[in-house]
Amino acid sequence: MIEEIKLTESNIEKFIHEKVEDIKKAVSEGTAINALSGGVDSSVVTMLGHRALGQRLRTVFVDNGLMREGEPEQVSGYFHKLGVKVEIINAREEFLGALKGITDPEEKREAITQTFYKKVFGRIVKESGAKILLQGTILTDVDETVAGIKRQHNVFEQLGIDPQAAFGYRILEPLIQLRKDGVRKAGRACGLPEALFDRIPFPGPALAARIIGEVTYERIETVRKATAVIERNLRNTKAFQYLGILHEDRVTGMRDGKRDFGQQIEIRCWDSVDARTARPTRLSFETLEQIAAEIIRDVPGVVSVTYNIATKPPSTIEAV
Ligand code: XMP
């Protein structure tokens, strides 16, 4: 049972100090590696690791081909400004290959986990000689995995998987006692810009968590373009998270006076504090109409746009 820590103004510096010391002690004279996705969790881990180890931390951004528009360059740009070097590793073909033909949600997640930790990361860690991987697992990831709701890509120990035996390296998880709100506070205190510590959550399996059915290059492009429209329009809402889902079913639509058996995008926008429960944000109908019009205009093949109005539970934030 992992004990939750609630960060407040009075214990936040102590928390950061302790985690930095833990990392120093665990890595000792060696080196560590961490994967930055640009989400708040991995961004905070990068700052803690950088503080503890400086140049002895190697930070890589694995471009799995499932990220949002311009994301790898944008994220490495933010960290460049903070004095942290980020290496972008192109692993797009490997991920796409691993996802080919898979439609089951858990199998999809498993394929991404294996490709990331065993193939791509296993190779990078082996080459680098690092013995420790720093990772941004948080308490909600553990809870949902243990409860069997969703297999989070970054949870092993609680499932009885020993990373040392399975992948050949140790994993250190400095944020495991925090929930999202605590991670954001730690991010602000570590000096992350607001664009990073207040970034909406984005799942480890990235856009694959938003594609129902097979993940193909074309389908990633579709959900990526829809995501760009949704994020652009909802950026100024105070919502916890907003996203687009690409459905597998096609529906009859019409375009240029002809029948178009097209695709469906579902918009989701959530109010939540810690992602454990969530309610759909009461967006105005004008906002929804605007997003729908832009999706139809900018995303080829889409003829239907819907808005999710179910709460979590029983829904979940992502669709896969
Ligand atoms: P769900 O979809 O389970 O999502 O309601 C809860 C929160 O977690 C994010 N999420 C993930 N984060 N790895 C992560 O680091 C994952 O595999 C993963 N799956 C979902 C999701 O975006 C939401 O904020």
3-state secondary structure 3-29: CCCCCCCCCHHHHHHHHHHHHHHHHCC
Whether residues 230 and 183 share a domain: the answer is no
Which residue is closest in CA terms to ligand 1's atom 13?
Answer: 204
**How many angstroms does the Cα of residue 152 sit away from the middle of ligand 1?**
7
Pocket flag, ligand 1, residue 201 (CB < 6 Å): yes
31 and 172 share a domain?
yes
Residue 91 has pLDDT above 90, yes or no: yes
What atom in ligand 1 is closest to the CA of residue 37?
15
Q: 182 with 151, same domain? A: yes
pLDDT score at 3: 94
Q: Is the CB of 136 under 6 A from ligand 1?
A: no
Ligand 1 lined by 179 (C-beta under 6 Å): no
Q: What is the pLDDT of residues 160-190, one digit of tens each?
A: 888 888 888 899 999 999 998 999 999 999 9
Residue 159 pLDDT > 90: no
Is the residue at 317 inside a domain?
no
Choose the final residue of a domain: 197, 221, 255.
197
Going from the Cα of 75 to the center of ligand 1, the distance in angstroms, rounded, reads: 19
- Give me the number of domains the chain comprises: 2
Are both 83 and 144 inside the same structural domain?
Answer: yes
The residue among 306, 273, 279, 281 whose CA lies nearest residue 291 is 306
With bands split at pLDDT 50, 70 and 90, how would you rate the model's confidence at 255?
confident
Residues paired with 86 in a beta bridge? 59
Whether 206 is in a domain gets the answer: no
Q: Which domain holds residue 60?
A: 12-197
Q: How far is the CA of 257 from the centre of ligand 1 (A)?
A: 41
Per-residue tokens: 307? 């808005």
For residues 309 and 287, what is the distance between their CA atoms, to the nearest angstrom?
15
- Among the residues of the chain, which ranges form H helices? 12-27, 40-53, 71-81, 92-99, 105-113, 121-128, 139-146, 163-167, 180-189, 194-197, 217-234, 285-298
Do 182 and 218 share a domain, yes or no? no
CA atoms within 13 A on the CB side of 248: 13
* Assigned token pair, 157: 């120990």
Verify that 42 and 123 share a domain, yes or no.
yes
* CA pair distance 179, 164, nearest whole angstrom: 26
Decide: 180 and 275 in contact? Cβ < 8 Å. Answer: yes
User: Are 39 and 201 in contact, with CB atoms under 8 Å apart?
Assistant: yes
For 158, which DSSP code?
G
pLDDT grade, residue 153 (50/70/90)?
Answer: confident
In percent, how much of the chain has pLDDT > 90? 82
pTM for the structure as a whole: 0.88
Residue where one domain finishes, among candidates 197, 222, 253: 197
Q: Based on the domain organization, do 49 and 141 belong to the same domain?
A: yes
Which candidate, 158, 171, 159, places its Cα nearest to that of 131?
171
The answer to whether residue 319 is domain-embedded is: no
Average pLDDT of span 290-312: 97
The CATH number for 253's domain is: 3.30.300.10
Token pair belonging to 232? 């652009």
In this predicted structure, the answer to whether residue 256 has a pLDDT above a threshold of 80 is yes
Is residue 253 within 8 A of residue 304, CB to CB? The reply is yes
Mutate to test the pocket of ligand 1, among 150, 151, 268 (most ligand atoms within 8 A of CB): 150
- Do 55 and 182 belong to one domain? yes
Residues 216, 193 share a domain:
no
Residue pair 311/267 in contact by the 8 Å Cβ criterion: no
**Integer Cα distance of 48 and 43 in angstroms:** 9
More confident residue, 292 or 168: 292
105 in contact with ligand 1, CB cutoff 6 A: no
**Which residues does 248 contact at the CB level (< 8 Å), separation at least 6?**
103, 212, 213
Domain presence at residue 129: yes
What pLDDT, in 10s, does the model give residues 48-80? Answer: 999 999 999 999 999 999 999 999 999 999 999
Q: Mean pLDDT of all residues in the chain?
A: 94
115 lies in a domain? yes
> What confidence score (pLDDT) does residue 131 get?
85
SS3 at position 263: strand
Distance (angstroms) between ligand 1 centre and the Cα of 255 equals 36
- Rounded Cα gap, residues 64 and 119, in angstroms: 12
- Same-domain status, 58 and 182: yes
Q: Is the pLDDT of residue 25 over 90?
A: yes
Q: Residue 233: pLDDT band by 50, 70, 90 thresholds?
A: very high
| Single residue among 166, 197, 228 that ends a domain in this structure | 197
- Domain for residue 172, yes or no? yes
282 lies in the same domain as 174: no
Best residue among 152, 212, 245 to mutate for probing ligand 1, ranked by most atoms within 8 Å of CB: 152
Of 28, 15, 34, nearest to 134 by C-alpha is 34
Asked if residue 7 belongs to a domain, the reply is no
